[in-house]
Structure 1
Amino acid sequence: MTGSPSERLPIGSDADLARVRRRVRQAAAGVGFGLVQQTKLITAASELARNALVHGGGGHVELTRLTDGARRGLRLSFVDTGPGIRDVELALTDGYTSAGGLGLGLSGARRLVQEFSLDSRPGRGTTVTITDWAAGLPSPRTGTP
């Protein structure tokens, strides 16, 4: 698997969140994601970028285009230097919220993508990395209808 040089986007304001969503949409379309898959990835990216801003005090996302043979994908790493997550397992539980929200940010993002990893230590910030691969084209029909 190879990756292109990463593109780094700041996350420090609501305007940055909009730029992250727009850039992820462009990159996903560029590597061949269908509309539904683009929407899922943008939703996950939006949740993770907002978490970095609200809970981590801001940070950045690194967007990397991936190639693995004929497969094309995107890896997004959301990095902040905030307080970190004390109980990662609890934070990944559906319904858990530390800020009065719906409790679907981390767990919801994890369900929307193919690969998800979270590295967090209290006092050292959090990095959440998601990877998604463009779905292949449907196989052609054979036989007669």
Structure 2
Amino acid sequence: MSDRVDAIVTIKEQTDILHARSAGREVARQLGFGTVDQTRLATAISEMARNALNYGKGGTCTIVTEKGQDGRLTIRVLVEDHGPGIADVALALKPGFSSGGGLGQGLPAVRRLMDHLEIDSQPGRTTVVATMSRRP
């Protein structure tokens, strides 16, 4: 099975964070992920979408699924914004660091909750990709 786009949510206001979170939870449920993994995914999506809204002035959340040749099911969440970018990605991934006066737990939490996290950031475009996989 090739990659399949399951949901695209435009992030323009706070309620869009809830829509993205719900979409991720529903995709995970449909794929047979347990409630704990559904909650982990929804929490990670909330953090990623909130960052796009608060720091990137909005963006998009795309949820893609794939089934590997080994039967592994993967959910990939891609959140992209066109804000100022993250000046120091390594620093942003350290617990307690915040460029906006928060607790500094957002991106470190996403890294803990998901199986893999990649961040590509430069002024005008930040892309955060997080994946979660499970065997059937």
Tell me the distance in 2 between the aligned counterparts of 1:125 and 1:79: 7
2:88 matched residue in structure 1: 87
Shift of 1:84: 0.2
Confirm or deny: 8 A CA contact 1:31 1:73 kept in the other structure. no
Confirm or deny: 8 A CA contact 1:117 1:130 kept in the other structure. yes
Shift of 1:4: 1.1
1:77 matched residue in structure 2: 78
- Which residue identity does 2:110 align to in structure 1? A
Confirm or deny: 8 A CA contact 2:92 2:107 kept in the other structure. yes
TM-score, normalising length from structure 2?
A: 0.93
2:106 matched residue in structure 1: 105
1:57 matched residue in structure 2: 57
TM-score, normalising length from structure 1?
A: 0.88
Shift of 1:135: 4.9
Shift of 1:35: 0.8
The 3 A distance-change label for structure 1 pair 40 and 135 is: farther
Q: CA RMSD in A?
A: 1.3
Runs of 4 or more above 2 Å deviation: none
Tell me the distance in 1 between the aligned counterparts of 2:6 and 2:18: 19
Structure 2 unaligned regions, length at least 5: none
Shift of 1:7: 2.9
Q: Residues 120-135 of structure 1: matches in 2 within 5 Å? A: 120-121=121-122, 123-135=123-135
Confirm or deny: 8 A CA contact 2:7 2:23 kept in the other structure. no
Per-residue CA distance 1:26-67 (angstroms, 9 max, x = gap) = 001111111111111111110000000000000001110111
- Which residue identity does 1:39 align to in structure 2? T
Confirm or deny: 8 A CA contact 2:86 2:121 kept in the other structure. yes
The 3 A distance-change label for structure 1 pair 96 and 135 is: farther
Confirm or deny: 8 A CA contact 1:32 1:72 kept in the other structure. no
Confirm or deny: 8 A CA contact 2:3 2:65 kept in the other structure. yes
Confirm or deny: 8 A CA contact 2:114 2:130 kept in the other structure. yes
